[in-house]
Structure formats: structure tokens, C-alpha cells
Amino acid sequence: MSGKGIAQKVRDTQVWKSIFRHGPPDNARNRAAVIAGNVFLHLHPIKLKKSGVQLGYTWCMGGLTFFIFLALTVTGLLLMFYYRPTAEYAFNDIIALREHVPLGIMREIHRWGAHAMVITVWVHMFRVFMTGSYKPPREFNWGVGVILLVLTLLLSFTGYLLPWDQLAIWAITVGSGMAKATPFAGNAGPGAMLARIGDFVMVSDKNDVRFQLLGGRFVGEPALLRFYILHCVFIPLVVGVLIAVHFWRVRKDGGISAPL
Amino acid sequence: MSSDSKQSLNRREFFSYLTVGWVMFTASVGGLLSLAFRFTYPNVNFEPEMEFLAGLPTDYPSGVDERWKNSYGVWMVKQEGKLVALSNICTHLGCIPNWLPAELKFKCPCHGSGYYMSGINFEGPTPRPLERFKVALQPDGKIKVDKTKIYRWEKGEWENPDSFLEV
Amino acid sequence: MSENKEPGMAYNMSKLHKVMAVLSFIFFVTTVWVFLDDYIRPWKAIQVEAQQIKRKHTDDALKAATKELDGKKLSDLDSSLAKGQEIVSGRKAEIEKAEKELKVVLTKLKAQTIKNGVLNGDVSAANFQYETAQGAHDHKTAEKKLEELTVLKKEFILGKDNSKALQAEEKIIRAKLADLNKEVISTEKEIKEFTMKVTLLKAAKATTDINPIFAIRNMPFIDYLDPTIKIQQIVINNVTDDRYFRQVPKVDRCITCHVFIDQPGYEKEKQPFRTHPKLDLMVGMESKHPMKVTGCTSCHGGEGQRVNDFASVAHMPDGEKQEKEWIQKYGWKEPHHVASPMFKLSQTEAGCVKCHADVQLVKGATVLNEGRMAIEKYGCYACHKISGWGENRRKPGPSLLKIAGKVDKEWFKSWVWEPRSFNKHSKMPAFFRQSNNSKPEFIRLNMAEVNAIAEYVYDKSKPYVANEKFHPGNAENGKKIISQVGCLGCHGVDGLEEQSDKVKAYAGPWLTGLGSKVQPDWLVSWLKKPSHYQEDTIMPSMRLSDTEANDIATYLLSLRNKSFEGLTFAKLDTKARDELLAEYNSTFDTYASAVSKVAKMGDREKTLDLGKRSIGKYGCYSCHNLEGFDGYEGIGPNLTKEGSKPITQFGFGLQHQIPAQRDAWITAHLQRPSRWDEGIDKVFKDLNKMPNFYMSEAEAKKITVALLGQVSDVVPLNGIKRFTAGEALYNEAMKVAGKYNCMGCHQIDGLRGDILKAYADDINQGPPRLVNEGHRVQTNWLYHFFGNVEPIRPWLQIRMPSFNLSLEEKNKLVAGFQQGAQQGTFEEPEMTVAWEPGEKEGAVKLWNSYNCVSCHSIGFTKDTPLAPNLHLASKRLRPSWIKLWLKNPQGILPGTVMPSFFGDDGNAPIDTTVFGGDAPKQINALTKYVIELGGKTTTK
Amino acid sequence: MLRELVNKLSDPIISFPLVTIGFYFMLKYYKIVGTKKFAYWTTALLIPITTWFLADPNFFSIIKTPDNIPIIILLLLVGFVTWFAIHKAAENDTRIEAGLCPIEATPENREKVWSWPNLVYTELFAMIACTAFLVVWAIIFKAPLEESANPTWAPNPAKAPWYFLGLQEMLVYFDPWMAGVVLPGLIVAGLIAVPYIDTNPKGNGYFTFKERKMAITAFLYGWLVLWVYLIIVGVFLRGPNWTFYGPFEFWDFHKVVASFNVNLSEIIWIKMLGVGLPKNLVVREIFGIILSIAYISIIPPWAAKATKAGRELFLNLGATRYYIFMFLVLMMTSLPIKMILRWLFSLKYIVALPEWELNL
């Protein structure tokens, strides 16, 4: 037989080489190349401080949050194949996921993942605060992080309605009920009474922020559709963009937090 | 032409085009964004009707009238010169009480909350009186009941002139 | 300018700014444009106009109301108010004192309320703790809690009492205050009441103001806040649109423009502001089809959800004039991509059919009813299935099972060839000599077919021997009898054209040329006993005497069609016959082998075979009873969903002058079906077989309306009026009545009564109108009457015929009338008359003073009776009906000769001496008296 | 008996002060808390207590609700990471006191290492572990699904998603416009503002308590007590009608708690002055309005002048940062203040203007 093993033969093919432009990352040159040459890995620095890989220091909560976000994106995309955001079908489709859709457990992973993401993002913030990693030059990135945390909560909140069961509509009723108390913009908020001329009511349940959120005066079919779109398209897009900014800033502001 | 004046001319030109261009750009982008905002408020919605015409005040005898109870969930109560539209939802847990003409009270069959004809609670577990809806006269003399406007006694809203009709 | 470039710059910066400015300008303009494009909608202008119209109306009402206001009274009230204020201001000190007292009491009350609130909470909590402890069998804690609870409860009761006392005090002070202010309060109230109408109208007028607030509310962008100009819609849950097999509630936005459609008072406005013309039946809140339940497009058709342009709604102009007007005014164009455009104005009644499918005639739907009657007349349902037209209807044409005993074969052939040449009123349509089959080679084949059909029919015909012999009688007398006994209810008759044209009877054939058609003996026996010739005929027996029957026959036989008599039909062309048979046989075979197959058949066999195939081809069996065609379906297409058939499925042929609309096609088709083949080269077997009925355009249009209504829309069960058991029975009875053409003579509950038109001078000489008949007559009597008709009104010349009703039909009629009138089967059938003391004497007095016997003379005087025999009333009539009848006969039968003895409202008797003029008592007594006349037992 | 005691103790009236006191001691003795010994002993103590808790059917039925699992995970995780952070901080502080640098700043930890495989691999491990964890979680616990949506009857209690229960719990003390809009808005704004207010250059990139006591105390109080604690109350201790139920208490639908709350204006005008409520709304609520304004506008300048800590802070931060910081802190403390006023005086609103939907 030839002197080369099959693995080596594969590595020598043009196809392999066109994909991986370097040898196995077992020497300094290739270790640098693997990070720098890979679109997914190149967000990492080629080298980093040792403290940055110490679990006791970083807790890996930010990384987990990102990973769970990816997992949720994948499971969520798959769930969309079986889910119709209409009052007639939403609940039945969830039952279908539970009862007969192959690997309908996707929904469980999606839901528990959503909760897990809320927890990891909180703990991530906790750690960042405790190590003072928001201090200059990372102020802006901390702000981005806070917004990402809020968006995470909103993602979870908008997803909460989609099963279209009692738990869902009443949790959203309670949650969105607070919006109607927004000063000057919610019909039960301070200042709403002032915004009227005769029978021209400028802030009412037909035009306030809550109506805008729900597309109706109560949690109904328009709300289901709006939440679906916010949950599946709008917020994930914003989150994706902000995550890119967040990571970029981590690199530019001196890598994963470390004493400066 | 001195180079100074040329420069200042350029600057003026520069500023005016710059300003016009960017002001208009900002205005247009703002306009399009406001379009997106306006887009979120539908012109038509499919929610159940919350208003209905309830005939003339003279159609109602003194006491409790149940003609709108099943269709709109409203009791019309005429008492002491006032006609009011009472919600028929028990303020305890949302059951639907019955009107007992013999005892002159609303009685909730679920947990026994009781209300006077006026809607004020007096027995059972309920924490507060029944709610009133807005009633107003139309020019043809007919009553319009608006269920989107709710008046609660405990908030002192029953004094509001929209919460009753004087008859 | 290139010298101005900075190093490292490809462009001159100021140039870039210029480009930016120009592009931004364009960008800005498009942004403004898109806002305006979204904002400007035609319906907004219409609503603004409507607002002005409403303003004008309100203003008129306001002016009228202000005029009505008594100015003097108002100024009086004003001055008394001023006086009152003066008086009240004199009591200022007292009032202030009372107000102060009130404030103290209110403060105390509030404090007490807070205390009570706390106590209430404590009591409830302690109660819960006590109950929990009890539940846990922790008696020690329970006892302790109970003690606490008892104390708390006592306190609470005290607190509540205190509250009540304070409330009482408050009430007293308030009453005192009111008393102190009474002059002002009462006058103010009086003024308010007095000016109420004006105040309300003023407020209504204010809502139509066009002011800055109106402008702001409806301004672009902020018109989401609380606009006054907005799309209005009705969601109709019980009528649905089909959206890919799902039933979705209809949404009608018509009221966005038809603003006042449900409001009376706008009848004279121009469209779209006019009130619905039939508010009491449609749209009105109290009508049977309220706007919010029925909507608009449920009946009218069209695209209810569209509002943005007149044409997309699928408004359809009725006639060319309107079309021109609309094109000019609204830019109307033929709707495209619209499944069901609106019904044209004259076809509106088609909308009834969708829900009222199973009823014969819909009250109030004149055109539709006439269309349905025309369908009945021409028997469309025989060849075309139409759901709602019943599965087991009778065949519309006469039976041909014994035809040889009625007419001869030569006549038969000529008749089939061209029925109109014998009877110009013929309902039998023409299959031949049409524009699509008049080529000589087609005529040759057609004639062979007719010959073969005749051979087949006569071959199968059973022998018939007339059971009467004709003896020539008095033709004039016969004609008179025909015009009097009621024949005209079903037949038009030559020589009686004037009456016939008034009645427009259609159930039976127009009687003409009988002398050239039937054998005299057959005619007499047919007249005497129709069922002898055809068992299932609807022709009734008029119980004619022999003389009468012979007189009628003599007259009818005197009607002859000389030119038709002279016709002879060409002999069977055996070559054509063989060609046709070969054609038939070659369907699954080569032509050559088909020819050889035909050649092997015998001559007679060939003729009969072609006869049977031809009958099958033209569908003769659908209308006529014929042997050998059991289980054959009608040959026409199913018309159940004709109104929803896509327009592309209608074949317009080369008839480009006919608009590509469903209704136009149907009307044209009905008038001359052969037109679709014109100009098209078709082979003989593919010719359009729909025969020509020579319908007038008016008739065709009416049928069009009835057929347009046959839409495929699924109406959910709760969208349709569901019959009660009684109504269902009544509906069944009306079907039987329809079959036997009862309404050719009787008007039943306001519908038809065709023959009454010939009695326009004196409606009482015609057949009785039946109103709530099930209430009038007793069930038993009616049943008996159908079996044994006996004259009730001997002065009438028209006769109630004896129908050949089956037992089932008789029961249906009886039960239907009775249930339709919501009567029990046995209401007071054996009522015994129990007189109150003195009542009978009163009844007799009334009997005399109202002079009942002057008309109801039978059994009392020898005078010619003008009213039914009252001795039979107790068997025939329901007592409760007699009372109604006595009370207000005109209310039941307008124009009846029965006088109203009790005034228009039934409460003012003419004779006030009896029973002190108490109408109900009088009516009661008279009813009893009439019943007693029938020989009922009398008890004291 | 013990159970009843626990039930009583967990009532927010008692448990909130307890938690606050515990929080104080935790930070005061953070070096003791931060030892491993403390952690072992606490764990050893908690295991039997937890077992005892779980043995109770009422408690267990609440715990095992699938939707409550994340909160338990949150609880365990927060407990652990809090201790862990304190532990690390204590370690570093001891080193700093000894004049050494924090562990994270030691040269060996600042040494540069290759990302591949050091970082990439650890990330992969985390992903694998996380996926496995999620899958197991998903297999064991079904995602909750209740009756299909029915707008005509509401389940009782109707709870928001658990991460908003802190806000819902605030609703007990504040009107929705405060609890649902203003306070959450301030939390987000305050968090974003943190790096701009906290100008302390120390403690950047390593665990420490000593060097940034003020910042950590304020943050931890808000995070642990005003957020996590309130969520726990909202999830486990609030039953039908949002009534308090102890951990061992059955959620009896009929439970009634004596509560009748009175506005400040009523207390002053009616109870104290004995006159009726004035008609004019502003006059009626004048005391509350003055108090509220004073709370926001008088305390910060007073503290800056009169207290030592305030003076130092003012000097360190400068006027703008100081006032923003004080405003945020005062808004945060308004919640415990409102709680305490409610428990002590049954106070409903300081300013009660339901006519304007403006209640404080």
C-alpha cells in the first residue's frame, strides 16, 4: 500500500485544500491560520490572555447566551414549519407538536432554552458587573449588553403568547396591561385624560401604545400575529445585529474582560 | 476674482446644497419611518361591537330590564329618576348573576355574591359593586350604550354624568 | 472644476452635495406623494358629503323643533327661574348652614367607611382563619378565633349601623337642601325637559360641524387617533364566503358610502345616500333581515369588502342607460376577476333564493315568484335538476302511455315536428326547424327521427277505450260553462281570450283546435273522469253532469285547426334511419362494421331502435310518461349552482352582441337556444338539443332571476331561517297545492289566486280567498271536504273540483294548513254550548238586529243565499275563528260582503242595547248561537 | 408548628426585612461568607432543610410545576454565583490588602495563549454540555400547555411570565404606570448609565468588594433583593387574587387577608384634622405632593451637605453624576419605603389622584 494514510490522502485533495487553507492546527502558524481564516472563528483573537479562558473568571455565561440564542434560532425555524399564527390553528399546532410531529420535543427545547437564555444573560450581566468590566473603555458595550438583555426578555415575552393557551393569553394580558398605564401614551396612564377635545379622544384604548402592540383592544388574533412577527423576525434581526456589534466591541475593547 | 471671494462663494454654495440635501433626506426618512409607525394602526378592526342602540328611555319601566342581558351583557336599571346600564359580570370571579325580582337583588349563582338593584354589593364574597357603562342620548332620543367606557363606584365614577341618564 | 479636487478624492465635494440635494428632493417628493396616495380615497369625499346632507336634515329638524318651541312658555320659565333664584338667594344663610352640616356628616361618613373597610377585612380574614382551623380540626385555635371573630363581627355590625345612620342623616340634609333650592331646581328641570329635543338636535348638528377639530381628526397620519371619516363595516358571522373550502364570515363595507341605508328619512336623497326602499322588510332594525345580521352582499351579491372604487365593488348597471350614466359619473367598467358581481337592480330578488331555497313562493319577491312560476309552467326542472325543486315532481307533460287512444299518429308527428303550428300557446317546445338544424340534410335526419319516435311511442301505447260516448250538445252552453266553473284557472281557451289573458293560467294546456286533435269519446270521458285515462293526472273532476260534459266537448270540438289537419308527414326515410343508426352504433366501433351490424337488423327493429334512441336523445321521457325509460335521468345540465357558474363555462359561440354576463347568456339562451350553434360548423349529433320555448323576453328575464339565485354559496345553518315543525308542514302543503295548482283559483295567504283577476268587478264571485285557512276550518272537516266536495257557497258558479289526491297528499294539505295556522287538530270540535243567564236572549236579539238571515238565508228563508249555510258552521268552522271573523271581517278578507258590525277596531258594536254594548260579550254570544245552530247539545 | 413559623416568616412583611438584614450581614462579613468552609456548611445545612421543604405536598406541588423549574435553576445558580463572586472578591481583597495584585492580574494569568484550542475548545465543551442539559431538561419536563385560549374567563391568579413577576409584585405597592412603565424604564436607563456614573477606576476586570463597596452594594441590593427576591415571592408565594400564601400553605381560593388601605390625604384630612376632603384635587393631595417633591429634590442636596458619605460622593462624582445617581437610588428605595408604609400604616397612595390616573 502507499505510504500515506487515507486521512492524509483526503487532506491532499484539491477539495480539502480549497476549503481548509492550512494544515492541522498543531503548530503556531496553523493555530493562527485556523482562527484568522475562518469566518466563524475570526471573531476570536488569535491569542488571548490566560484569564480569558478560565471558567472561574469568565463563567462562560455570555458565550452560553449566544449559543442558546443560536439553538433557539434553529429550533424556532423548525417549529415555524408546523405552526400557524392564527386563532383557529395556533393551539392545535402546539398540540400537534406535542402529540405527533416527529421530534416535537423541539418545542420543549425551544421553551426551556428561552428560559435558560434569560437566566444566562442575567448571570452574565451579574458577572460583568462584579468584575467591573463595564468600566472604560467598555461603557458603550455595556450599554449594548443592557439593550440585548431587554431584547432577550422581549423575545421570551413575545414567544410566550404563541401557544395560544390560557397561560399565554393571560400572561400577555397582564404583561401588556402595563403598557396602557404609560404616561400620556396609554389610555389608563397619567395625562391620558388631558389629551382630549370634546369627544375627540386622543388617547383611548383604540389608539394607545397597547393597541399598537396588540393590534387591538385586547389580546386577540391581531396580537397573535404581531407577536409572532416580532418574535420570529423583528426582534431576532435586531438582536443579531446588536450581537455582532457586541462581539466586535469585545474584540476592539481589549478582548474578553481582563484586568487592564 | 480673488481666491478669498471664490472660497467664500464656494462655502455658501456648499452650505446651501448641503443643508437642503440633508434636511430633505432627514425629513423623507422621518416621513417613511412615521409611515411605518402609522402602518401599525389598522384603519379597520374586527373586534366585537362595543356600542349598541337601546331604544328610547321611555321603553323601560321602573326597575330592572333584562332585554340586553343575553345579547350585550347589560341590565338597564331605572331607579330614582336615573337610567343606568349595569354590567352583568359579577365583580367577584366573573360569573353572571341572576336578577331576582321577588327579592329585588342580583344574586350570583357561583359564590353567592349579592347586589342591590343599584348594583352596590351587600353580601357574599364580592369586593366591589357592579360596573356601569356609558349611556348617552342620540338626537332621535334613543339611548346609546357604550361598553368601552366603564364607571366604577369605588372610584367615585358613578357621579360622572355620562354614567347615567336622568329620566 | 477638476482642479478643485482635493488629493485622494475622486469627486468634487460640492458636486456630491448637489447630487445629494437633487436626489433628496426627489426622495422628499415621493415621500409626500406616498402619503397623499394613501390618504386620498373616494369614499372619504362621499362621507363628507353625507355629513353635509345629515347636517341639512338635522338643521331642518332643528328649525322645525325651534318653531314648535313655545317662546312665551320659555320666557315664562326663564322669568320664574329668575324669581326662584331670588327666593333661593334669600335663604342663603340657611343653605350655607345646611351645606356645612352636610360636610360634617360626609366627613364622619367617610371616616366610618374607612373604619368599616378595615373591620370588613378583619372579619373576613378572621373568618377564614377560623374556618381553616375548623377544617384542620384544630379546635383550640378555632375557639380562640371564634372569640375574636365574634367581637369583630359585633364591632362591624355597629360600624355598619353607624354608617347607615349617617347615610340617613345625609339623605335628610340633602332633602332639606333640595327643598331650600326647590324653586330653582324644579324650574331648571322643567326648562331642560322643555328644550330637550332642541338641545339634542343642536348637539347632533354640532357633530356635523366642519371645524379645525374635524380637520385634525381626519388629517393624514394622525387619522388613526379618532377619525370621524372611516371605513364602516358589518361582519356577518352567519353568512360566509368560501375561501379555499373554508367558510369565512362575510364582511360588508357597503355602508361606508351607503351611509344612511338603514336610517329612514333619506328616501329622496341621491345615491349612495338613499335609504333602503324596503326598510320594513330589509336592513331595518325591526325587519326580518336586520342590517347587522344579514348584511348587504348576502342578498345583493358583489364584493362587499371593497370600498376604493365604484367598479371593483362589482356594481352592475341595469340597462344601457344606467351603464352610460355610470361610465360617465363613476368611470364604471365591466368587473373583471369577480366571481359574483352584484345582481342588477331588476334582478335583486335572485338574492332571496340562496336562503329561501326550499319554498315555492317567497312573499314579497314578485319577479322571483313569477320566474319560479314560469319554471313550473315550462317544466325546466324535468330535464334540469335544480335543488330545491323537489325530487319527485310530476312530469310536466301529459302521459303518452295510452296515446293511441287519444290522438292519431299523423297528428302526433306533425305536432312533434312543430307544436306551434297547431297551438300557438303551446308549452311543448320546438326541437326541430330551429336555426341550427334547418339545413336540408339535417331536416332529412330530423324527420326520420320524428317518424321513428312516433313508431316507438305508438308501438308501446296501451289500448284505451273511452268510458263515455259523445253526444253532440249545445256548444254555446259549453262555452259558458267553461268560463264559469273554473276551467280558466288552469287552461286558456280559444274563444275566451279576454278572460284567459287576464288569468294567464298555465297549469294545463291552452285549449285550441281540439276538434282537429282528439277523438270525441275520449274528450267526454276525460272531462268526466280524467283519472280514467291517466291515473296520476292533476286534472280534477269538476263533477260535470253528462249534459254539461257533452256541451263542453261540443264547444271544444268545434275548435278546429284546418290548416294543421291538412298536414301529412313524410314517410319514414329508411336510408336516413340507417345512417343514424350506423352513427349511433359506430360510437365504439368502426363505421363500416356499424353499417354491417345495422344491415343485419330487421326493418321494424331498426325503426323502434332509432325511436328509442331518439327519445333518449331529446329527453322526451323527462316530461312525458313513456314505457322503457325507467331510471333515466334528465338530459339537461344541473342548474342548482347556475348562478355561480364561472362565466367562462358559458358558451357564447359567435354571439358577440350578447354581453359576457351570466344573466345575459341565460336570457338569450332561454329565448333561442339554437343561437349558440349559429355560424359554427357542427355535425348532426353535436347540435345543441335545448328546444325552443318561444318565450317572451319578459318571461325569459324572470326565469333568469330565479336561476341567477341558484348560487353555490354555503349558508351556515344558523344563517338560514329554520322552519318550525308547523312551518315545515305548511311548506309541504304548499308544495301539494302547487302541484294541483290550487292557487290558480284560490289566493292562499296573499299569494297568487290567478283566476281572481277575472273577477275584478266583484271579488266575492270568485273562489274564496284562503287566509289562515287552518284556523278557519276544522281539520276533520277539511279532510272530509277534500274527499267529498260539497258546495258551501251555492250562489257561486265556480266550482271546487274533486281532485285526485292521494291519501298522503290529502294529509299533507290538512296538516299543513292546520299547523301553518298554529292550530291544534281538535280545537273545540265538540264544543258544547253553555249559556250564561240571559246570554241566549241577547244572542237572539243580536241575531235579529244584525239581520244575519238576510244573507245567511239557507234554512231560514227562501231568499237567494249570499253567504254560507250557518247550520253547517259548527262542523266546519273553528269557534275562535268565528269570533275573529265577526270582530273584523275586513281585516281578514278585504272587500268581503260580510258587514263589520263592531266597527273598524272590533270594539264598537252597532247595536249598543244588548249587553250594554260590550263587543266581546256580543261576539261570544253570537258565536255560541251559530254553533248551536249546528245542533250541538245545549246546557243551561 | 415549625411549618407555620416558616409560613409566617415568609410573609413579605417579615421576610423582606429579614432578607434585607441578611443582605447587610452578607456584605458586612463577606470575607467569612466567601470562605469555602462557609459554603460547605451552608450546603450541608440546606440539604436537610430542602428535603424537609420538599416533603410538604403543598410546597412540592408548586415546585414541580414545569414553568417553575427555571426559577429553581435561577435560584440555585444565583445562590452559587453570588457566593462564588464573594469568594473570589474575598480572595482578591485579602491579596490586595497584602499589597499583591488580584489573581486575574498575575503575570501568569496575563500570559497570552492560543485561542485554538484553548478558547475554541472550551466553548465547544460549554455548548455540548449546554445542549445535553437542554435536551435532558426537555425530555424530563414537558413544556406547559393549558386550556386553549379563552378570553371570557381568566385563570386565577393570572401571572405574567416569571421574569416579569418582580414588576407584577411591585403592582401591589405601586400603580401600573410606576410599576410597569416608570420603574422598569428607570432600571434599564439606570443600568445603561452605570459606567458613566461609576467613575471609580479601581476594580476594572477583577473580583473585588473592598475597592468598590458602594457600587456593589447598590447593585447587589437591587439585583438580589428587589429583583430576584420579588420574583421568588411572585412565583412561589402569590396565589389566587394575588394573596400571600406561605410555602406550606394550600392555595385555598377563599383565603382572605385583612387589608384595607387608606390614602395619605384621607389619613391627614379625615383622621387627623377631622375635616372632610377638600373639593380641589390639588389642595386635597397637597401633603402627598409636597412629600414626594421633597423626597426627590431635598434629600440629595441635604445629603451632599450634611452627611460625610454624601459630601465625599458629591466631590468624587461632580454635581450632575451625583444628582443622577441620587435620583436613581431614591427611585430604587422608593419601593421598600412604599412597602414599609403599607405595612405600618396601611397606606395606599401618598398622592391619590385617580381622576388623573396619577397615583403614587
3 state SS of B63: strand
Residue with cell 354608617: C163
Which cell numbers hold the place of D124? 465547544
Residues C767 and C908 in one domain: no
Tell me if C45 is assigned to some domain: no
Contact list, A107 vs chain D (CB under 8 Å): 143
pLDDT digit string, tens, across residues D13-61: 999 999 999 999 999 999 999 999 999 999 999 999 999 999 998 899 8
**In this structure, are residues D38 and D280 in contact, taking their beta carbons and an 8 Å threshold?**
no
- Average pLDDT (B99-119) is 86
Nearest to D156 among B93, B155, B156 (CB): B93
Do C213 and A204 lie within an 8 Å CB cutoff? no
pLDDT at C566 over 90: no
pLDDT above 70: percentage of residues in chain A = 98
- Average pLDDT (B98-127) is 84
pLDDT for C6 equals: 74
The C-alpha of D33 sits at a distance from chain A's nearest C-alpha, in angstroms, of 16
Chain D residues 243-302 with CB within 8 Å of chain A: none
3 state SS of C232: coil
Contact list, B27 vs chain C (CB under 8 Å): 28, 31
pLDDT band for position A2 (cuts 50, 70, 90): low
The C-alpha of C209 sits at a distance from chain A's nearest C-alpha, in angstroms, of 13
Residues C457 and C600 in one domain: yes
Residue with cell 435532558: D136
pLDDT for C875 equals: 85
pLDDT digit string, tens, across residues C139-189: 888 899 899 999 999 998 999 899 889 989 999 998 998 888 888 888 888
pLDDT band for position C4 (cuts 50, 70, 90): low
Q: From C135, which residue of chain D is nearest by alpha-carbon distance?
A: D252
pLDDT for C1 equals: 43
Q: Which CATH architecture best describes the domain A55-252?
A: Up-down Bundle (1.20)
Nearest one of D244, C14, C54, C465 to B21, comparing CA atoms: C14
Using a CB–CB cutoff of 8 Å, tell me whether B20 touches chain C.
Answer: yes
Contact list, D152 vs chain B (CB under 8 Å): 94
Residues B63 and B126 in one domain: yes
Touching subunits of A (3+ CB pairs, under 8 Å) are B, C, D
The C-alpha of B88 sits at a distance from chain A's nearest C-alpha, in angstroms, of 19
Strand partners, B63: B78
Residues C138 and C272 in one domain: no
Residues B104 and B161 in one domain: yes
Domain boundaries, chain A: 1-47, 55-252
Q: What residues make up the domain containing C371?
A: 366-386+638-716
The shares of helix, strand and coil residues in chain B, as percent rounded to the nearest 5, are 30, 30, 40
Question: How much is the mean pLDDT over chain C?
Answer: 90
Q: How far apart are CA C199 and CA C193, in angstroms?
A: 10
Contact list, D216 vs chain A (CB under 8 Å): 129-130
Residue C250 CB contacts under 8 Å (≥ 6 apart), including other chains: C235, C236, C239, C240, C241, C295, C297, C298, C304
Residue type present at position A48: L
The C-alpha of B95 sits at a distance from chain D's nearest C-alpha, in angstroms, of 9
What count of other Cβ atoms lies within 10 Å of the Cβ of residue C516?
19
3 state SS of B64: strand
Which cell numbers hold the place of C224? 388613526
pLDDT band for position B11 (cuts 50, 70, 90): low
Residues of C near A (Cβ–Cβ under 8 Å) read 207, 213, 216-217, 224-226
Contact list, B125 vs chain D (CB under 8 Å): 254
Contact list, C132 vs chain D (CB under 8 Å): 252
Residues B144 and B75 in one domain: yes
Q: What is the DSSP string of chain A?
A: --SS-HHHHHHHSHHHHHH--S--S-SHHHHHHHHHT-TTTTTS-SEEEGGGG-HHHHTTHHHHHHHHHHHHHHHHHHHHTT---STTTHHHHHHHHHHTSTTTTHHHHHHHHHHHHHHHHHHHHHHHHHTTTTSTT-HHHHHHHHHHHHHHHHHHHHHHTTT-BHHHHHHHHHHHHGGGGSTTTSTTSTTGGGSEETTEESSSTTTSHHHHHHTSSSSSHHHHHHHHHIIIIIHHHHHHHHHHHHHHHHHHTTSSS---
Q: How far apart are CA D332 and CA D339, in angstroms?
A: 12
CA distance readout (Å), C538 to A141, C279, C398, C603, C788: 96, 40, 10, 39, 17
Mutation choice for D interface testing from A40, A60, A170, A187 by most D CBs within 10 A: A170
Q: From C124, which residue of chain B is nearest by alpha-carbon distance?
A: B125
Instruction: Compare A178 and C384 and report the one with higher pLDDT.
Output: C384
Contact list, A48 vs chain D (CB under 8 Å): 112-113, 115, 118-119
Contact list, C31 vs chain B (CB under 8 Å): 27-28, 31-32, 35
CB burial string C792-819: b at 16+ within 10 A, e below: ebeebebbbbebbbeeebbbbbbbbbbb
Counted across chains A and C, CB pairs separated by less than 8 A come out at: 17
The C-alpha of C217 sits at a distance from chain B's nearest C-alpha, in angstroms, of 13
Residue type present at position B84: V
Using a CB–CB cutoff of 8 Å, tell me whether A207 touches chain C.
Answer: yes
Do A177 and D180 lie within an 8 Å CB cutoff? yes
Tell me if C392 is assigned to some domain: no
Which CATH number do you get for residue C156?
1.10.287.1490
**In this structure, are residues D157 and D241 in contact, taking their beta carbons and an 8 Å threshold?**
yes
Chain D residues 238-257 with CB within 8 Å of chain C: 252, 254-257
Which CATH number do you get for residue B84?
2.102.10.10
The C-alpha of A206 sits at a distance from chain C's nearest C-alpha, in angstroms, of 7
pLDDT band for position C5 (cuts 50, 70, 90): low
The C-alpha of A1 sits at a distance from chain D's nearest C-alpha, in angstroms, of 34
Counted across chains B and D, CB pairs separated by less than 8 A come out at: 7
Strand partners, B107: B98, B114
Number of domains chain C contains:
7
pLDDT band for position C275 (cuts 50, 70, 90): very high
Do A163 and D145 lie within an 8 Å CB cutoff? yes
Residues C556 and C666 in one domain: no
Residue type present at position C24: S
Q: How far apart are CA C591 and CA C10, in angstroms?
A: 87
Residues C744 and C706 in one domain: no
Contact list, D346 vs chain C (CB under 8 Å): 118
Number of domains chain B contains:
2
Do C122 and D258 lie within an 8 Å CB cutoff? yes
C229 HSE (CA, 13 A, CB side): 27
pLDDT for C19 equals: 93
Q: How far apart are CA C247 and CA C714, in angstroms?
A: 8
Using a CB–CB cutoff of 8 Å, tell me whether A254 touches chain B.
Answer: no
**In this structure, are residues C737 and C815 in contact, taking their beta carbons and an 8 Å threshold?**
no
Residue with cell 499589597: D99
Nearest to B25 among C18, C24, C201 (CB): C24
Q: From C127, which residue of chain D is nearest by alpha-carbon distance?
A: D256
Nearest one of A224, A61, D269 to C106, comparing CA atoms: D269
Residue B84 main-chain phi, psi, to 5 deg:
-130, 160
Residues B92 and B40 in one domain: no
Do D207 and A131 lie within an 8 Å CB cutoff? yes
Residues B35 and B85 in one domain: no
Q: What residues make up the domain containing B18?
A: 1-45
**In this structure, are residues A195 and A203 in contact, taking their beta carbons and an 8 Å threshold?**
yes
**C938-939 and D112-114 strand pairing:** unpaired
Mutation choice for B interface testing from C31, C59, C171, C174 by most B CBs within 10 A: C31
pLDDT for A71 equals: 95
pLDDT digit string, tens, across residues B12-53: 555 688 888 999 999 999 999 999 999 999 999 888 878 888
What count of other Cβ atoms lies within 10 Å of the Cβ of residue A159?
23
Domain boundaries, chain D: 2-107+120-143+203-242, 264-359
pLDDT digit string, tens, across residues B122-145: 877 777 889 999 998 887 788 999
pLDDT at A224 over 90: yes
Residue A133 main-chain phi, psi, to 5 deg:
-80, 5
Contact list, A185 vs chain C (CB under 8 Å): none
Number of H helices, E strands in chain C: 37, 8
Residues B74 and B126 in one domain: yes
pLDDT at B5 over 60: no
Which cell numbers hold the place of C399? 302521459
pLDDT digit string, tens, across residues D202-236: 888 899 999 999 999 999 999 999 999 999 999 99
Mutation choice for B interface testing from C12, C39, C224 by most B CBs within 10 A: C224
Residues B74 and B1 in one domain: no
Residues B35 and B94 in one domain: no
What count of other Cβ atoms lies within 10 Å of the Cβ of residue B83?
19
Contact list, C126 vs chain D (CB under 8 Å): 258
pLDDT digit string, tens, across residues A26-83: 888 989 988 888 888 888 888 888 888 888 898 999 999 999 999 999 999 999 999 9
Question: How much is the mean pLDDT over chain D?
Answer: 90
Residues C527 and C441 in one domain: yes
Touching subunits of C (3+ CB pairs, under 8 Å) are A, B, D
- Domain boundary (C668, C685, C716) is at C716
pLDDT at C65 over 80: yes
pLDDT for A260 equals: 61
- Average pLDDT (D322-351) is 92
- Domain boundary (B12, B27, B45) is at B45
pLDDT digit string, tens, across residues C573-587: 999 999 999 999 998
Tell me if C66 is assigned to some domain: no
Nearest to A134 among D120, D149, D195 (CB): D195
pLDDT for B1 equals: 41
Using a CB–CB cutoff of 8 Å, tell me whether A25 touches chain B.
Answer: no
pLDDT band for position A154 (cuts 50, 70, 90): very high
What count of other Cβ atoms lies within 10 Å of the Cβ of residue D316?
12
pLDDT for C853 equals: 87
Q: How far apart are CA A109 and CA B7, in angstroms?
A: 67
Q: From B37, which residue of chain A is nearest by alpha-carbon distance?
A: A212
Do A201 and C217 lie within an 8 Å CB cutoff? no
Residue B116 main-chain phi, psi, to 5 deg:
-70, 175
**In this structure, are residues C755 and C772 in contact, taking their beta carbons and an 8 Å threshold?**
no
Question: How much is the mean pLDDT over chain B?
Answer: 84
* CA of residue B72 relative to chain centroid, distance: 15
pLDDT for C363 equals: 85
Q: How far apart are CA C728 and CA C749, in angstroms?
A: 16
The C-alpha of B153 sits at a distance from chain C's nearest C-alpha, in angstroms, of 14
Using a CB–CB cutoff of 8 Å, tell me whether C31 touches chain B.
Answer: yes
